[in-house]
Structure 1
Amino acid sequence: MVEIRNKDTIKEDILKAFRFRHACKLFDVQKKISDEDFQFILETGHLSPSSFGLEPWKFVVLQNQQLRDKLAEVSWGAVDKLKTASHFVLVLSRKSNNLEANSSHVQHMLKDIQKLPEHVQQMMTGAIDNFEKADFQLTQNDRVFFEWGCRQDYLAVANMMTAAAEIGIDSCPIEGFNREKVDQLLRSEGIIGAEDWGIACMVAFGYRAKEPRPKTRQPLEDVVSWIH
């Protein structure tokens, strides 16, 4: 018999996870995330939404300490996390040549992954092309195009951090790094190709070394407005 949970209980459990989650600055090096739990976290990123379902992301789980040390040299905001996190993820986004409507990746997604009929593939290609060129004007600037992919990566990162919090695992999203130097390091290590991928952000996972200060937020009424 399937257990039906009370909606109020579910809502409180979710809010409890959000209250638990904080940007963990230092992790307990003695505690490691199990393979099963980390696969669960990765799967929540994998199942996250993306514009047109194009999945512009790639998650590189960096467990090699030598490479972590090299990354720390160009990632001022990640130094302590790289030393102490159980798992450290480089979140990559595809560049414009991999997200243009007629690119091999987009066509692969429409044909092989989404398995759309040929006439629907053509319709979707036209819709994506119009969106990129006219609606959001992405094709006018490669950096703007790249940031569009990065914004979608952040949806996956948020879901992964929330999922981690739900099972008592801490996390920290990181933008404290020199983007150009990180990309250069990843290219030199053979992790990315020069034209295909770029670093969007990083996220560390593990178990907190100490309790955080109380969470602070603006009052809800200061950040929400209703138009009736």
Structure 2
Amino acid sequence: MENILMNVLDFSHACEIFDNTKKISDDDINFILKAGKKSTSSFGMKPWKFLVISNDELKTKISPLCSEEISISSSSHLVIFLAAIESINSESQSSNSKSVKKGSPADKLEFYTGVFPNHPEDSCHSNENMYSWPARQTYLSAGNMMTAAAIKGIDSCPIESYEKENIEEVLGLDTSKFQIACLLPFGYRLNEQSSADKESLDDSIEFIK
């Protein structure tokens, strides 16, 4: 199992251009999306929504708003991760806390009852934090989607260089409820991956014993 996982991670890379003649099947894209939906998140709130775009015209319209990223226009599917701003409000927190508590050990119920409903609110005193907290959560689902895609031999390319407000306008989003956190195109690589060394861990890991 360890070798399987390492092989999947070695396959995965930020694919700069996809083969636009190859399309991801419905079964495979649903597998990828299911991995995102099943992702864990802080307090189990899962404050996200996924927009799945396969319309070529719309992808081409979004591409210039992302530094002309060819990976978007050439992708089979573009998944846009939305931070669910509305999930921060007190009513949503109360509803979500019930789902978090379901099946929890008895000694955890008091914690969730006393702390959970106020935690996101306490952490989001500004409009910026109201966005950044759920936005950070979306990356947990994005990582799992990328791994799920690699299992199927499908490539991806996380994108953060984009004109947030302009894309939100193109999509007609109600930004009081949802705002863009990340863009993640999926498809099949056109060129082979570079032979960059993924084995060296010395610079990125430090053990404290």
TM-score range, shorter chain: 0.7 to 0.9
Residue from 98, 123, 128 that aligns with 2:87 = 98
Q: Distance in 2 between matches of 1:84 and 1:70?
A: 12
C-alpha deviation, 1:67, in angstroms: 1.9
Matched residue type, 1:20: F
Which residue is equivalent to 1:83? Answer: 73
C-alpha deviation, 1:123, in angstroms: 5.7
Which residue is equivalent to 1:6? Answer: none
The one-character-per-residue Cα deviations of 1:42-99 (angstroms, maximum 9, x if unpaired) are 1100100011111111110011222222212322153x1232111111110112x431
1:185 aligns with 2:173: no
The one-character-per-residue Cα deviations of 1:86-142 (angstroms, maximum 9, x if unpaired) are 1111110112x4314x23x3233234x45749xx88863531244335xxx522222
Q: Distance in 1 between matches of 2:7 and 2:48?
A: 28
Ranges in structure 1 where 5+ consecutive residues have no aligned partner: 1-9
The one-character-per-residue Cα deviations of 1:151-198 (angstroms, maximum 9, x if unpaired) are 1100100111011111211111111101122222222xxxx3231000
- Describe how 1:12-91 pairs up with structure 2 within 5 A: 12-76=3-67, 78=69, 80-91=70-81
- Describe how 1:119-198 pairs up with structure 2 within 5 A: 124-132=112-120, 137-187=122-172, 192-198=173-179
Which residue is equivalent to 1:107? Answer: 94
- Normalising by structure 1, what TM-score? 0.81
- Normalising by structure 2, what TM-score? 0.88
Q: Distance in 1 between matches of 2:42 and 2:201?
A: 28
Q: 68-77 or 41-50, which moves further after superposition? A: 68-77
1:222 aligns with 2:193: no
Contact 1:77 1:177 in 2 (8 A): no
Partner-residue secondary structure (3-state), 1:203:
strand
Contact 1:26 1:208 in 2 (8 A): yes
Q: Distance in 1 between matches of 2:7 and 2:198?
A: 15
The 1:121/1:194 distance shift into structure 2, 3 A limit, reads farther
The one-character-per-residue Cα deviations of 1:185-228 (angstroms, maximum 9, x if unpaired) are 222xxxx3231000000101111001021124583122222222
Contact 1:77 1:176 in 2 (8 A): no
Q: Distance in 1 between matches of 2:118 and 2:101?
A: 21
Aligned length: 206
C-alpha deviation, 1:144, in angstroms: 2.0
Q: Distance in 2 between matches of 1:151 and 1:84?
A: 27
